[in-house]
Each structure stands twice: as C-alpha cells, then as structure tokens.
Chain A
C-alpha cells in the first residue's frame, strides 16, 4: 500500500484562485519532502525542498510567492498554488525521505493533476 499519500489527485480551479495540495507520509516521519512539477511532454522538475519546521528551499526559477510550501508537521507538507494561471496547469508530485537503519529511502505520492481554467 501507499506510504505517501497525495491529495487531491485531480483538481480544476479558476484562474486567479488558490489551490492547496497535500502530501502526507502515512507510517513514517519525514523531516524532508520534495515537490516536483511536470509540464506536458517535459521532465519532472524539482521545485523545492520542504523542511519540517523551517522555510522551504526553492530551485532557481521557481517563484516562491506563487508556490507556497508549508511543512508544519513531520507527516505533512502542503503546496499552495496561489493566483493560479492557465499556463500553470501541470502535474505535481511529492516525495518524502524516510530515514532508516540501512539508510534513506525515498517514497513518492500518487501525484496531482492541476488544470486552471
């Protein structure tokens, strides 16, 4: 079964509105989560690293004020797309880093399809 749950899977919103996407680690604590975005026919691109209890680290070219990341607990990171624009219609997917005795393991969520109309 899934160990990282992402919600919602599909969302349609109007241009100019905000949308929140959640990423939850279900049976482990994740101090670090990652958010990726994929435009049609392009690669999954890392947007930001989400750190529990501190500010997210954004990749170059990602607008921080348009993609707000909150990692307020050890099992939940949220990505809020503010003032959504049709050009921002995209696939968003998160991953969470689980630390274990044998090393770190990365688990991905199911992804979220955002369509802005």
Chain B
C-alpha cells in the first residue's frame, strides 16, 4: 500500500537558519503530495501541495518539489522564523472522486526555532 516516510525530529534551529525536512513516499500511480502544518492548539493546515511530477508547491516562504524519479517531496525554507515552530506532516493522496480527502501521512516532524 501507499506509505510516506518523513525525517525524524525533533528539529531545532536558530532563527534565519535554512530548513530541510525530508519526505519520501511509496505509492502506485500518480499521487498528489502535500505538506501540512499544525501550530500548537490548532488543527492541521494545508501548507502547500503539488499534483504532478516536477510541480513546485510554495507558500509562506516554504517550497517543495515533486520528484518522481526519487519519490521525494522535501520541504525547504531559506530563513526560518520563531513563528514557524510547529509540527509538519508530509502526506499523499491517491484517492479521487467520492474518496477525495483520504490521506496517507508521515509521522510528523516537530520544528522548534529559537531566537
């Protein structure tokens, strides 16, 4: 079945440092790929997504490129801020139609950014 493997955390960085959180996946067909973020006390929010190979998703300074050849969707940000401290989840979806919304998640990576 489908699976997502995410870089284990926690990750601790200083403000303005470069961030990479690795994510690789196993799936049949051509899944859509997502990064979700969960801030303390809040629900998961969609951070960015990519629906086909070589697509780059971007939002709030974060980027991830759908690499089919390496089955990866690594999350990057050039300069992190304290407000980026959160839990980040990589996910994929192979379901459409009435099953749209069924996601396969990685285990999540806790990011803490210090001033």
Q: Are A and B physically bound partners? A: yes
Give A2 to B41 CA distance when docked, in angstroms: 11
Q: Which residues of B from 55 to 76 have beta carbons under 8 Å from A? A: none
Instruction: Enumerate chain A residues within 8 angstroms of B106, measured Cβ to Cβ.
Output: 43
Interface size on A, residues (CB 8 A): 25
Q: Does more than half of chain A's interface fall in helix, strand or loop, or is it mixed?
A: strand
Instruction: For the complex formed, measure the closest distance between the CB of B65 and the CB atoms of chain A, giving whole angstroms.
Output: 22
Instruction: For the complex formed, measure the closest distance between the CB of A34 and the CB atoms of chain B, giving whole angstroms.
Output: 6
Give A109 to B46 CA distance when docked, in angstroms: 12
How extensive is the interface on chain B, given as a class? 20 to 34
Task: For A104, give the chain B residue with the smallest CB separation.
Answer: B100
Q: A32-B101, A44-B89 are in contact. Are A93 and B43 (CB under 8 A)?
A: yes
Partner of A108, one of B36, B98, B102, B107: B36
Does B31 sit at the interface, judged by CB under 8 A?
no
Further pairs besides A104-B101, A111-B38: 20, Cβ < 8 Å: A2-B42, A32-B98, A32-B101, A36-B105, A43-B4, A43-B105, A43-B107, A43-B108, A44-B107, A44-B108, A46-B102, A49-B102, A93-B44, A95-B103, A97-B101, A106-B100, A106-B103, A108-B36, A108-B45, A110-B42
Residues of A near any B CB (own CB < 8 A): 2, 4, 6, 9, 32, 34, 36, 38, 41-46, 49, 93, 95, 97, 104, 106-111
Residues of B near any A CB (own CB < 8 A): 4, 36, 38, 41-46, 89, 98-108
